[in-house]
Structure 1
Amino acid sequence: MTGFNRWLLAMVLGALCALPLKAEELSKGQTIYLPIYSHIWYGDLDASGQPRKALMSALVSIRNTSLKMPVRVTSARYYSTEGRLLKEFAASPRTVPPMATLEFFVEKSESAGGSGANFIIQWEASTETNSPLVEAVHTDIQLNRTPTFLTSGRPIKSE
């Protein structure tokens, strides 16, 4: 990368970071899509044409960002890469108090989800409030390597 290209990249990144942050719209409920990776592919292809596979655990975190209002998580459905429902993690609605967090855990040994697994999380509130922050921390803690990464949920329209 040339000196000019580095300078241009720094200017563009600096301008993006300087943009003002806008508060999220208030809502009485949403459906949120959260990508999950029960495994990740890595490395070079082997003789059979397949890359290596590392199983990952995932900690799903639903954080109520409201200072005053509780939210209710009415559903947290876990789907496989093929779109097959694997498990409903919220069999009954769960109330998340203001500034509290509801967590679900996908074990490392759960490999049915695949690299394209996902959660569909539905929440509601009695009055308009801040949307919860929905993320998943994926990890595979071992002695010599520890891949760890984060995925974020995004609102989708209910069909």
Structure 2
Amino acid sequence: MTASDSSAADEPTDESERGTDGNRNGNGNVEPATDDSTREENVGTRPSDRRHQNVLERVRTDSTVHAVALLAAVAVGLALSWLHWLGLIAAGALVGLVSPTTKRAVLGGLGFGVLVLAVFAATLGDSAAVAAGTTPIVYVAVGAALGLPVFGSLVRLVR
């Protein structure tokens, strides 16, 4: 027995023993495994990543779960934006993550910005009319309230 024979004997011959994640085709070659629901190759993805994708897919497609997730995202977003202006970006990202499409994510971010402006005006009470009169600075506040959540909602583009 030679040294090359002993090293070949130690190597696993079955693909499952080598740790490949795939399906054997008719020629004996291993093809990448595919996800049955999306028909996409899942090579290099861990089972935990696939599980998170399945949860997000359910949140985006099941209307009841989507409504609950959207309300939770808005509530958390309002709390974060109350604490700091970066919360507007985080809130837009949360709304974008639960949105089924990029277009709906952007519209959700814009809607969240309108909600933030309404809540801000309500907290000002009678002073809202005076605050609206401070024209140079009010443009920054309105632009940030509308633009930052939309910017955050673009997280939906990330795969």
Q: Same fold (TM over 0.5)?
A: no
Q: Could you say which TM-score interval applies, normalised by the shorter chain?
A: under 0.3
Q: Which one has a larger percent strand, Structure 1 or Structure 2?
A: 1
**TM-score, L = length of structure 2:** 0.23
Query: Over alpha carbons, which structure has the higher Rg?
Result: 2
Taking CA–CA contacts closer than 8 Å with sequence separation of 6 or more, which of the two structures ends up with the larger relative contact order?
A: 1
Q: Which one has a larger percent helix, Structure 1 or Structure 2?
A: 2
